[in-house]
A = this chain, B = another copy of it.
C-alpha cells in the first residue's frame, strides 16, 4: 500500500492547504470521532476513503480499553493484545515481585504455560452503543441545575443497571459534549489477562524523561498480553492483522483508541481558569512530588524499584501539563479561541430565541469557575494516592453507600461498577510500606502547606505528630495489608467500620465528611452548572457549525486519522521516520546518561539488526493521553504502527488541535518485527503476529 491512492490524494490536498489560512490548515485532520459518526464527508473529500459498516465494526471490536487508563488492540485470532510498555508498566512491576525484574530484563513467554497471569488487570471491549440522551434528561427541563444533576444521576444508574442485567455486559452511560448527549456503552469485560511479551524498559522508554514528548525517538514501547476465557486463550470475533509493508510518508493512517480528557469545548473563561488555577496548582503538586520521589528513589535500589511507576507517572504528567501551560501562555491560541467564541456568541445574540435558549451559558460557566477557585485548594485533603488509605476510604464509603438504592450512591459505588471496584479493592498485588509512608507523609505535609498548620482538618489528620511520625504510625498500625481483613471489614458493613480500631480506617472515617463536603460542593456548584451550560454551548455550536462537531475526549473509543508527515522546528525539518540504527547513534552520543543506555540484548544484537528499518514515525492524528497503546492501521485496517506519545507541540491539543508542528508519535510495525526477530528471537510471537499477514 505504499504510495497508495489515499496517500497520493492526501499529498495533493496538503499542498493546497499550505496556502490556506492557518486556522484551516490547523484543523485539517482534527477530531476524535465517535465510531457511530465518523467524518465520512472529510474522509471521502480529502482522502477518497469511505469506511464501510463492516470496517468500522471490525475496528470497534478489535479495540481494547485498559482499565488502568490506556488503549490496546486484538492482533491475533488467539486473543493477543498489543499495547504500550508504559501502559503495561504498572502490571509488569506487580508481576516482578517473585525474583523476576521484568522492567530491567523484559519477558518472553515461550509457551502458553509461561504466560504470566496479572493480579488485577481488567480489559474491556466496546460491544454496543445506544443514544440514551432523552431517557437521561427526562423530566429535568424545569429543574434547577443541581436537582437536574441528581435526577440525571439516578436515571443513568437505572439505565446502566437495567442494561447490565439484560446483557451481562459492563454497561456505562457516557456523558458526551460535556452534557449535550448521553450514550450507553456496553463492554465485554475480561479479567484473566496474561503477559506474553515485554521488552526491557531501557528500550521501551529509551531517552527517559529527557526524550519523553519529544522527537526524533527510538523506543520499542510495546507489550503483548493475552486474554483468557475459561482458562483458555480467547478466540475473538474480530482482530486486526499485521501489514507486511508498513506505512509510507504521506500515507493516511487511522488511530482507534481511548483518549482520556480534552477541553476543546471549553469557553475562554474556563480555559483561563485552567491556565490560572488548575494547571499551576496541579504543576505545583507534581514538581513537589517529583522531587520527593527522586529523594525516595535515591535512598536505595529497592526504593527505586518500588517507586518506579509513581515516579514515571509524575514525570510524565509534569512534562505534559507544563507543555499545556506554556501553550496557554502563547497568545496565538488564546486569541483564536476568543475570536471563535465571540463569533458564536454574537450569532447567538442575533436571535431572541437563540439568546434565550443558550445566551447565558458562557457567563454561567465563568461564574461556576470563580466559585470553584474559592474552594479549589481543599482537594489536598485527599490522601488516596496511598493504596492503604484508598482501600480504607473505599471500605468506609461502601459501608455508607451500599445500603442505598444504586441511583442514590456516589457514582463509583453504583451496581454497574461494583464488580470492577471489588476486583481492585481485593487485589493481592503487593503493597510497599516504605513507599506508602513516603506517599502519606508527603500528602499530610501538603495538606499543612496548603491549608495551614492550624486548620482543623490538618490537626485531625496529623493527630499531634509531625507528618513523618504520623505516616509511620499509620502504616505500621494498619491491618489492611491483608486481603482477608479487607474482605472481612467490607462484609461487616457500618458495624465493622464503627468498631474498627485500624488507624487507617479511623483516619479515612475521620476525613470522609470533609471529602464528601468538597465533592458535593463541586458537583452542585461547578459540575452541574458545567453540564447544563455546555449542553447549551454545544447546541449553539451544532446549530452554527453543523453537527460535524466531535465531542471532547471521555476515555471512550474514538477514531482519529491523518497522514505520516514531517514538520518544521527552529527552521529545520524533522523527518517523519527514524531508523533502528539511530538508537545506537543516540546511545553513543549520550554516553554516561543512564536514560540512554541500551539493554545488553540490544548491544549484543547490533550486527544482526538492519539499521535502515524504520523504528518510530510521526503522523497527524488527533490524539491525547489515553490513546497510548492505540493501533495505527492503514485503509485496509492492517496494523502499521502503535501510538505511544505526542511531541511537545501536541501538548496544547488538550485545548485546541494544531497540526503545524504537533504530531502523534508511533512505533513502526516494521521496527517491532525487526526487533522481535533479531534482538528477542521471539519466534512464537512473530509466528502468531504474522499468521494472517498477506
Q: Name A residues whose Cβ lies closer than 8 Å to a Cβ of B.
A: 208-210, 272, 275-276, 279-280, 283-284, 287-288, 290-291, 294-295, 298-299, 301, 318, 325-331, 334, 445, 448-450, 452-454, 462, 464-469, 592-593, 595
Contact = CB atoms under 8 A, between A and B. Distances in A.
B275 A283 contact: no
Contacts of A330: 465-466, 469
A21 to B, nearest CB: 20
Of A290, A294, A445, A453, the most chain B CB neighbours within 10 A belong to A453
A280 B453 CA distance: 11
Given A209-B298, A290-B291, A280 B326 contact: no
B295 A209 contact: yes
B287 A325 contact: no
Contacts of A295: 209-210
Contact of A283 (B280, B325, B449, B453): B449
Given A295-B209, A298-B210, A592-B301, A326 B287 contact: no
Taking each of A318, A329, A452, which has the highest tally of chain B beta carbons within 10 Å of its own beta carbon?
Answer: A329
Given A210-B295, A288-B283, A452 B276 contact: yes
A570 to B, nearest CB: 10
Given A445-B329, A595-B298, A453 B291 contact: no
Number of copies: 2
Contact of A288 (B287, B327, B462): B287
Contacts of A325: 445, 448-449
A208 B272 CA distance: 41
Nearest to A280: B449
B449 A593 contact: no
Q: Chain A interface mostly helix, strand, loop or mixed?
A: helix
A326 B466 contact: yes
Nearest to A470: B329
B284 A453 contact: no
A664 B156 CA distance: 64
14 contacts: A210-B295, A210-B298, A276-B454, A279-B449, A291-B291, A325-B445, A325-B448, A326-B467, A327-B466, A329-B453, A330-B466, A331-B464, A331-B465, A334-B453
B453 A210 contact: no
A457 to B, nearest CB: 14
A466 B298 CA distance: 34
Contact of A329 (B208, B288, B467): B467
Contact of A326 (B288, B329, B468): B468
Contacts of A210: 295, 298-299
A210 B303 CA distance: 13
8 smallest beta-carbon distances between A and B, as pairs: A280-B449, A276-B452, A330-B466, A287-B287, A287-B288, A287-B291, A210-B298, A275-B453
A449 B283 CA distance: 9
Contact of A450 (B280, B448, B462, B464): B280
Given A210-B295, A284-B284, 19 more contacts: A208-B298, A275-B448, A275-B452, A276-B452, A276-B453, A280-B450, A284-B287, A291-B291, A298-B593, A298-B595, A301-B592, A325-B445, A327-B466, A328-B453, A329-B445, A329-B462, A329-B467, A330-B469, A331-B464
A454 B467 CA distance: 37
Contacts of A592: 301
A261 B290 CA distance: 28
Which of A208, A280, A450 is the most central at the interface, judged by chain B CB atoms within 10 Å of its CB?
A280
A465 B330 CA distance: 6
A370 to B, nearest CB: 13
